[in-house]
Structure 1
Amino acid sequence: MSNRINQSRRNLFSRRKSQVIRPPWSSTDVEFTDICTRCDKCIDACETKILSRGDGGFPEVSFSQDECTFCGACAKVCPEPLFTDTEETPWQIKASIDQSCLANSGIWCQTCKDACDPRAISFTASIGQAPKPVIDTEMCNGCGACVAPCPNQSIKLS
């Protein structure tokens, strides 16, 4: 019984770690938490305020209120060697839409498409049904602009 509980705890923490989104251009999670001093300079510099203190005081991204504009302020103010060149791709995260999307219930909603500047979200029309969203993962830059406006919280980035 005790072994099963310990295994469950390990799974819980490993799942949590994999769900955390660090600031754009940041090193891998292990390097990030090894080097980050939790000074909050990146959090203070974030122009859209999507960075906040997460578990252990390390900065995490939350798209619940706004998007990442890829301004690079977080990388510029960091005194540690945590960030890669801001001329490179900021991260590999992409948006995905789950089954709770209102279109799957026959409700016409395209707020995610309207919010998407790179136009990575389109809708496929079907006769007698609400148009269904489709994400072009090649065009999606992971900015998160589609997350906050979704009325059903159906969009996740990972």
Structure 2
Amino acid sequence: MSKSERYYQEYLSHRHVSRRGLFRAVVSAARQVAPGTPSACPVISLPPGALPVAEFNAQCTQCHLCIDACPMGILEKHESGLPQLNIQYASCDGCRLCIDACDVGALLPQTRFDTGLRPVFNANCINPVRRCNQCVDSCASQACTIGETWMPELDNERCTGCGECLVQCNYDAVTLVLSAF
């Protein structure tokens, strides 16, 4: 079974997907990316619960058990061989299966789930005809609100970096960046 088949099976078994969301995922997955071109999700992020970067790089044995354990299919092998979090078509729900699968201690349980990613909203977000509010409606931690200028605003304290706002955005107006928390 190819990764894309596994991904969609896991995604559909864990989430309700609207027809629009499924169509958007299929269409965007079919886009060809030229070699050397940055991917649609240029952020390289470590899995949830990862030790600080230097310690993680030294501790991780690249066994990929965490990748295999991820039911959402959002952990993948980076070109360096280390696992990376790639939130593009599915969000991280903090299930901790990747942490439980790590037997070398490179991933540790967190007191508060946080991927370390934060959304940044760009001007594509403002639709003068119809405001969608997808990021606000889909945010389980209620970290996104609509400001006076109709742009989404983020409460960093509430945000867990799950990426649901990115997954639900129909206008490619959300980019995830590593936070410095």
> By the TM > 0.5 criterion, same fold?
yes
TM-score range, shorter chain: 0.7 to 0.9
TM-score w.r.t. the length of structure 2 is 0.66
1:82 aligns with 2:106: yes
- The residue aligned with 1:138 is 157
TM-score w.r.t. the length of structure 1 is 0.75
Shift in alpha-carbon separation, 1:87–1:32, aligned structure 2, 3 A? closer
- The residue aligned with 2:177 is 157
The CA deviation at 1:139 is: 1.0
- The residue aligned with 1:106 is 128
For the 8 Å contact 2:115–2:162, the answer to whether it is kept is no
Deviates more, 1:89-98 or 1:108-117: 89-98
- CA–CA distance in structure 1, aligned partners of residues 49 and 74 of structure 2: 15
Structure possessing the higher radius of gyration over alpha carbons:
1
Which structure 2 segments of 5+ residues have no match? 1-42
Q: C-alpha deviations, 1:25-82, integer Å up to 9, x for none? A: 1101111111211111100101211101112111111110111111111111112111
Q: Could you say what secondary structure the match of 1:97 adopts?
A: strand
For the 8 Å contact 1:25–1:89, the answer to whether it is kept is no
For the 8 Å contact 1:66–1:148, the answer to whether it is kept is yes
Alignment of 1:64-83 (within 5 A): 64-83=88-107
For the 8 Å contact 2:114–2:161, the answer to whether it is kept is yes
- CA–CA distance in structure 2, aligned partners of residues 152 and 93 of structure 1: 23
The CA deviation at 1:93 is: 2.0
Alignment of 1:41-60 (within 5 A): 41-60=65-84
- The residue aligned with 1:3 is none
Q: C-alpha deviations, 1:95-114, integer Å up to 9, x for none? A: 232333321x5352321112
* CA-based RMSD: 2.1
For the 8 Å contact 1:111–1:146, the answer to whether it is kept is yes
Shift in alpha-carbon separation, 1:101–1:22, aligned structure 2, 3 A? same
For the 8 Å contact 2:119–2:166, the answer to whether it is kept is no
For the 8 Å contact 2:119–2:163, the answer to whether it is kept is no
Q: C-alpha deviations, 1:2-25, integer Å up to 9, x for none? A: xxxxxxxxxxxxxxxxx4211111
- CA–CA distance in structure 2, aligned partners of residues 31 and 37 of structure 1: 12
The CA deviation at 1:91 is: 3.6
Q: For 2:93, give the aligned amino acid.
A: T
The count of corresponding residues between Structure 1 and Structure 2 is 135
Shift in alpha-carbon separation, 1:115–1:40, aligned structure 2, 3 A? same
For the 8 Å contact 1:123–1:134, the answer to whether it is kept is yes
Q: For 2:135, give the aligned amino acid.
A: C
